[in-house]
A and B are shown apart, each in its own frame.
Chain A
Amino acid sequence: MMANMLIWLVFLPLIGAILLFTIPKENVNVIRSLATIVSGMALILTVIIWGGFDRGVSGIQNGTTLPWFDLGFLQINFEIGIDGLSMPLLLLTTLVTTLSIFASFSIEKRVKEFYIWTLILLSGMLGVFVALDMFLFFLFFELTLVPMFFLIGIWGGKMRSYASFKFLLYTGIGSGIMFMTFLAIFTKGAEAMNFQGTSFSMIRLAEIFANPANPEVLSEGVKAALFLGLLVAFAIKLPVFPFHTWLPNAHVEAPTAVSMILAGILLKMGGYGLIRAGFGILPDQAAKFATLIAILGLINIIYGALLALVQTDLKALVAYSSISHMGIVLLGIASFTHSGMQGAVFQLVSHGFISALLFFMVGAMYERTKTRTISEMGGLSKSVPILAGFMLAAAMASIGLPGLSGFVSELLAFIGIFGASADLIPAAMTIGIIAGIGIILTAAYLLWAMQRTTFGPIKEKFMNLPDARPMEYVPMVGLLALSLILGVYPHILSDVINTTVIDIVSRIGG
């Protein structure tokens, strides 16, 4: 029953996209309503699945495996299912997408196509989070790429073409590497089992790699190469320094709603993929490279924050802050502790809400002031106090103010990195302390941005800007409330994550 619901969930947006095809493009309101309804239905489905989710089970639940194609040596199955890792991300996906559809009503250009691509994107993202077969995972991963490419390329700003190509090139190369690595994993897995019962299933492959019939095939070097392949593939998506430069361009050019989805959900596929495939199939390699991952995380935190500090474009600043915040995810998973891993997943969800809110606020300000240049704004609290208030709240959430979700993930990640075993990460303490400086830098660039945009004297031309519209309250209040709920009572989320996380960490005996 629940398994069927997962299939419905993944294909519902696609069906919605097909339905949209049949509607004349002049019926803008019908199109918008339909897109909202479809996304809303997907949200309701995820909430039902969330409600029925068994918090005591660490492995996959609601799983389904349907034979897809079978070439004898090559079996690809439609294998889906969820665990404590994917469940929160499914809910994040439908929540953020639905709220960003509310944020996209101001789009007037080629409305029908916009929502068709958005719904296809939604299917792709949901597919990524439920797929357990590597081939299926790859297909869904690709399915997100093309819509995002068009969403930036058609509805973006002045430099949209450049930004969308850059996005495609980077993430395309990432996908290429991912695909090669998947194939190599499959090949090696098959070899290790002497070609008996080969599979693309990540669950099966994890078992094979843990207990190979022919261990010689899986030398340390081979396994290390496979893990590094996955690390690079997902590092581009997360994104990790030095593969991050596509992100600020994509964000600056993307329309508000697309930025919300990009930062809120799409980046999370990188973190999710790294944990699901990298840590799932090759846990011992992940542990071996723990120090590397932790240092990459640290670089992301500091580098992203330092660059955010000198941005002149408000949206670019938020984009660099995303890079910085994704470093927390790496830091958490590298620690190989329950709390660190929990913090990483918590951060994926929390940053999803907070970054979507920040991008929404920046978009709302841009819509009114027609500028994103920080020095051209100022004093906006005077004319748009409500928007300015929500923007400050979003900044505070991003800074990690307790009571909002960002604090919980940072706390957990810090408990993780400071509790990391010295065998795994010899310099864990130092890494943690330097990461602490990142917390100060985060406050510095965000408060600086707030000071220059909403505080200070207001410019004459901004005196009569209209404050928040009723429709804008939906994403604003929704996203802030979600961050607040997780911040005040994190048990709601940690309860779902915990069992699975303990299982992942215990695979290397941690």
Chain B
Amino acid sequence: MCHGILKEKGVGMMHYAWLIPVFPLITFLILLVAGRVLKEKVAYIGIAGLALSFLLSVLVLLERIGGETYTYVLNWMTVGENVVTMGYEVTALNAMMLIVVTLVSLVVHIFSKEYMKEDDRIHVFFAYLGLFSFSMLGLVLAPNILQLFIFWELVGLCSFLLVGFWYFKPEAAAAAKKAFLITRIGDVGLLIGLVLLFNRVGSFNYAEIYTAVEMDQLSAPMITTIALLIFLGAVGKSAQFPLHVWLPDAMEGPTPVSALIHAATMVAAGVYLIGVMYPLFLASSTAMTVVAYTGALTALFAATMALVNNDIKRILAYSTISQLGFMILALGTAGYVAGLFHLMTHAFFKALLFLGAGSVIFAVHHRQDIRDMGGLWGKMKVTSVTFLIGSLAIAGIFPLAGFWSKEEILASTLINGDGFLFLIALVTAFLTAFYMFRLFFKTFTGEFKGGDLNDPTEETFNEQAAWEATQSAEVGLDAGYEERKVYPNHQEVPENEPRENAGLMTFPLMVLAVLAVIAGFINAPFLGHQLEAFLTAGLNVGTQPHGALWLAFLSVAVAVAGISLAWAMYVKGFIREDFFSSKAPSIHKLFQNNYYLDDIYLAVFVRPTKEISLLLWEMDKTIVDGVITLIGSLTSRSGKAMGKHQDGQLQTYGLVTVFGGMVVIGLAFAVRGYFG
């Protein structure tokens, strides 16, 4: 039944790459069955599974460097005359992705052991984390776009489950549904795109799709159509404008989830998708332009929203959207390596920032409003220092990781894009530095404004969050949840001061901080663009643009300017904090309310759909069903008139008889007709 096709000789580590997703799958299954019994021991099982996956990923990467792409497939199904296969593949790109995913997932597992220790459903949490890691790794290892889609949907499911982990919170339930639904819009585009590809290429395999594009088997308009449909999938998953609205709400999930799924890995899957389909995109200049502009506009829009938010996680969420926009901008301007390089560096420093935020939130008893924080620098040494490193990295300060990848993106927009794209990228880089340091200064410097941490009623009413909560609830055809609930795992803590968390939470921060410092060197020009050589070997993805030295200076200068402005406003007070909100209140409000996109969607899509559906339902009950309802009510009335028999059997038999008679008459009629 199964026919293995071994395309490469020799059975090395890459042959065992399939085990990488299987380890977390096993932990998922163990926790699903025995989670309740194991209690807090579940964390060790989850961590062990991911540690094995990480180790194997390292071995696979080492073998892949200097090796060849390895593919192994089995027959899955016959569609018409075409055999669809499933299996796994180790390419340069996914060997890198394996490291990123397993490493971030591993540190998030470790962090979660402490962060989630007071939640009595910790076994469910770790089970879902395992399922997610399995799905994400399966997505990365897929040798064809159908298998990618299958795991693409599964990571979406895990995102839904984990955003809605605290299912009893109405906002979490609404956010989970919103995340699933909005990304599904993109998924339908992707599905149609891959169906169109299959109908023309006869295969879902990347290799055969590349060949078909090279051999001009697809017409130019069809290539553009398919590329744009596939891109729609990326827009949904990677939260690009105009489908980005789900990601800020997804912050209702536990913070480790935000770090893993909604910052480092799943949301980057859209970028990865464009990466693996790159030959298709390169073949359509229209598609590339759409990609570049979508990325650029998203980067800028999201950054403006990050400027004015006060929720530590939402700021980081908008920042993620913005940075994903950067990656997509790079891919749209032929910066294949630049986009994927930034995917990797961003995964490390954004996971660091999110886990740092989690550490802060944990220390201040699940508050997320930065106006309630401040002064944590001395109190939480590891968190503060690592958060600073993350902030410097994302701002693009030399020689941290973000500097190298952001500089390449700027180069790619400058060389292959146009002046407008370059300008947007530059402005966004400035805004990024500014909002990150606004966040940093307000959280870690100055005085602690949180007041008494033991008073659970102290939680200041967050108008913005409450508003957004009702919005997100309504987007799912469902208003009426207004109450904000206190977290269940909120426990009494004896001391009154925020203080550094246990080693299990700070260790992951240190690991990620080291990566946020050094990861950029992997593609540093003076070390010979190692990553570029690795990723582009044997692939037809065009020449990679490189910037001149002045560009590096310019990008650092822009970042320094942003940081300085934040310092002037939030540390020194040279410029008043409410400068912007008082000078341009309408624009400030526009940014704060997500450009009113949720309201627009509600008015344009959700409400009309609901109205139409209600109207159709009325019609269904009256017009479509009318005639028969009339007959029905007449029968039952006559039945009542005849005297109610037990269970209405009299009428029953009567009708059966009538029906039987009808058949007999019909038969007689037809037969007579036959005799003519």
Please determine whether A448 and B613 come into contact, CB atoms closer than 8 angstroms. Answer: no
With both chains docked as a complex, state the minimum distance between the C-beta of A371 and any C-beta of chain B, in angstroms: 18
B151 / chain A contacts, CB cutoff of 8 Å? 402
**Is B463 positioned at the interface, with any CB of A under 8 Å from its CB?**
no
Q: Which residues of A contact B609 (CB under 8 A)?
A: 306, 309, 441
Establish whether residues A456 and B655, one from each chain, have CB atoms under 8 Å apart when the complex forms. no
Q: A456-B168, A456-B173, A489-B76 are in contact. Are A165 and B635 (CB under 8 A)?
A: yes
The answer on a CB contact under 8 Å between B80 and A339 is: yes
- Tell yes or no: B11 within 8 A of A by CB: no
Q: B206 an interface residue at 8 Å Cβ cutoff? A: no
Say yes or no: B81 contacts A338, CB within 8 Å: yes
Is B191 a contact partner of A440 (Cβ separation < 8 A)?
A: no
- CB B290 to nearest CB in A, in angstroms, measures 18
The interface residues of chain B lying within 8 Å CB-to-CB of A162 are 632-633, 636
- The residue from B149, B199, B625, B635 contacting A245, defined by CB atoms under 8 A apart: B625
Are B481 and A456 within 8 A (Cβ)?
yes
Q: Is A183 an interface residue (CB 8 A)?
A: yes
B631→A245 contact, CB < 8 A: no
Cβ-defined contact, B662 with A338, below 8 A: no
Cross-chain contact of A338 among B1, B79, B485 (Cβ < 8 A): B79
Give CA–CA (A414, B75) in the complex, Å.
Answer: 21
Name the one of A180, A245, A396, A437 contacting B188, with C-beta atoms under 8 angstroms: A437
1/0 per position for A144-182, CB-CB distance to B under 8 A?
001001100110000001101110111010011001100
Determine if B157 and A401 form an interchain contact, defined as CB atoms under 8 angstroms apart. yes
Looking at the assembled complex, report how far the CB atom of A383 sits from the nearest CB atom of chain B, in whole angstroms: 11
Contact A451 B610 (CB under 8 A): no
Instruction: Give the docked Cα–Cα distance between A185 and B167 (Å).
Output: 58
- Flag whether B502 is at the interface (Cβ < 8 A): no
B662 touches A176 (CB 8 A): yes
A165 & B150 in contact (Cβ 8 Å cutoff): no
Chain A residues with CB under 8 Å of B620's CB are: 245, 307
Let me know if B667 is at the binding interface, CB within 8 A. Answer: yes
- Shortest CB distance A327–B (Å): 15
Q: Are B195 and A451 in contact (CB under 8 A)?
A: no
CB contact between A491 and one of B75, B167, B617 (< 8 Å): that residue:
B75
Complex contact A310–B76 (CB within 8 A):
no
A408 to B147, CA, bound (A): 12
Q: Does B545 contact A (CB under 8 A)?
A: no
Residue A307 contacts which of B75, B198, B613 (CB distance < 8 angstroms)?
B613
A 117-152 to B, binary, CB cutoff 8 A, 1 in contact else 0: 000000000000000000000000010001001100
B518 in contact (CB, < 8 A)? no
Interface residues of B in 68-94 (CB under 8 A from A): 75-81
Verify B164–A306 contact, CB threshold 8 A: no
Q: Does B547 contact A (CB under 8 A)?
A: no
The reply to whether B1 and A455 contact each other, CB–CB distance below 8 Å, is no
Please tell me which one of the listed residues B164, B612, B670 contacts residue A455 in the complex, with CB atoms under 8 A apart: B164
A452 within 8 A of B: yes
On whether the beta carbons of B647 and A154 are closer than 8 Å, the reply is yes
A316 (CB) vs chain B CBs: closest residue: B617
Contact of A458 among B149, B168, B199 (CB under 8 A): B168
Indicate whether B213 reaches chain A with its CB closer than 8 angstroms. no
A436 within 8 A of B: yes
Closest to B1 in A: A491
Whether B632 pairs with A165 at a CB distance below 8 angstroms is yes
Task: Give the Cβ gap from B577 to chain A, nearest Cβ, in Å.
Answer: 37
Contact between chains at B617 and A310 (CB < 8 Å): yes
Question: Contact between B192 and A490 (Cβ–Cβ < 8 Å)?
Answer: no
Q: Judge whether B587 is part of the interface by a CB distance below 8 angstroms.
A: no
Interface residues of A: mostly helix, strand, loop or mixed? helix
Judge whether B585 is part of the interface by a CB distance below 8 angstroms.
Answer: no
Q: Are A402 and B154 in contact (CB under 8 A)?
A: yes
Is B365 close to A, CB under 8 A?
A: no
Question: How distant is the Cα of A165 from the Cα of B195 in the complex, in angstroms?
Answer: 44
Residues of B within 8 A of A175 (CB): 663
Convert A229-272 into 0s and 1s, putting 1 for each residue whose CB lies closer than 8 angstroms to a CB of B: 00000000000011001100000000000000000000000000
* Complex interface: chain A residues within 8 A of B656 (CB): 146, 149, 168
**Residue B153 contacts which of A153, A402, A414 (CB distance < 8 angstroms)?**
A402
B474 to chain A, nearest CB (A): 12
Q: How far is the CB of B486 from chain A (nearest CB, A)?
A: 12
Does residue B180 face the partner (Cβ distance < 8 Å to A)? yes
CB–CB B610/A310 < 8 A: yes
Q: Are A342 and B80 in contact (CB under 8 A)?
A: yes
Kindly state whether residue B616 has any CB partner on chain A within 8 Å: yes
Give per-residue flags for B602-617: 1 if the beta carbon is below 8 A from chain A beta carbons, else 0: 0000000110111011
In the complex, are the beta carbons of B648 and A415 less than 8 A apart?
no
Chain A residue numbers with a CB within 8 Å of B613 are 306-307, 309-310
Q: Is A93 an interface residue (CB 8 A)?
A: no
Contact of A418 among B76, B192, B633 (CB under 8 A): B192
Set A150, A164, A414: member contacting B192, Cβ < 8 A:
A414
Residue of A nearest to B659 (CB): A172
Judge if A104 is at the interface, Cβ distance under 8 Å. no
Q: Does B308 contact A (CB under 8 A)?
A: no
Q: Kindly state whether residue B581 has any CB partner on chain A within 8 Å.
A: no
Which A residue sits closest to B200, measured CB to CB? Answer: A419
Contact indicator per residue, chain B 157-186, by CB within 8 Å of chain A (1) or not (0): 100100010011010111011001100110
Q: Contacts of B167 on A, CB cut-off 8 Å?
A: 379, 381, 454-456
Does chain B have a CB within 8 A of A411? yes
On whether the beta carbons of A414 and B636 are closer than 8 Å, the reply is no
23 A-B pairs whose Cβ atoms sit less than 8 Å apart in the complex: A153-B647, A161-B639, A162-B636, A165-B636, A168-B659, A175-B663, A179-B666, A180-B666, A183-B674, A246-B628, A310-B613, A338-B81, A396-B157, A401-B153, A415-B79, A440-B188, A444-B181, A451-B174, A456-B168, A456-B170, A456-B173, A491-B1, A491-B76
Return the 10 tightest CB-CB contacts between A and B, nearest first: A338-B80, A455-B173, A402-B150, A245-B625, A183-B670, A306-B613, A436-B188, A310-B613, A419-B199, A455-B167
Other A-B pairs beyond A172-B662, A436-B191, 14, CB < 8 Å: A169-B655, A179-B663, A309-B609, A401-B153, A408-B77, A415-B79, A436-B192, A440-B185, A447-B180, A447-B181, A456-B481, A489-B76, A491-B75, A502-B80
B interface list, Cβ under 8 A from A: 1, 75-81, 146, 149-151, 153-154, 157, 160, 164, 167-168, 170, 172-174, 176-177, 180-181, 184-185, 188-189, 191-192, 195-196, 198-199, 476-478, 481, 485, 609-610, 612-614, 616-617, 620, 624-625, 628, 631-633, 635-636, 639, 647-648, 651-652, 655-656, 659, 662-663, 666-667, 670-671, 673-674
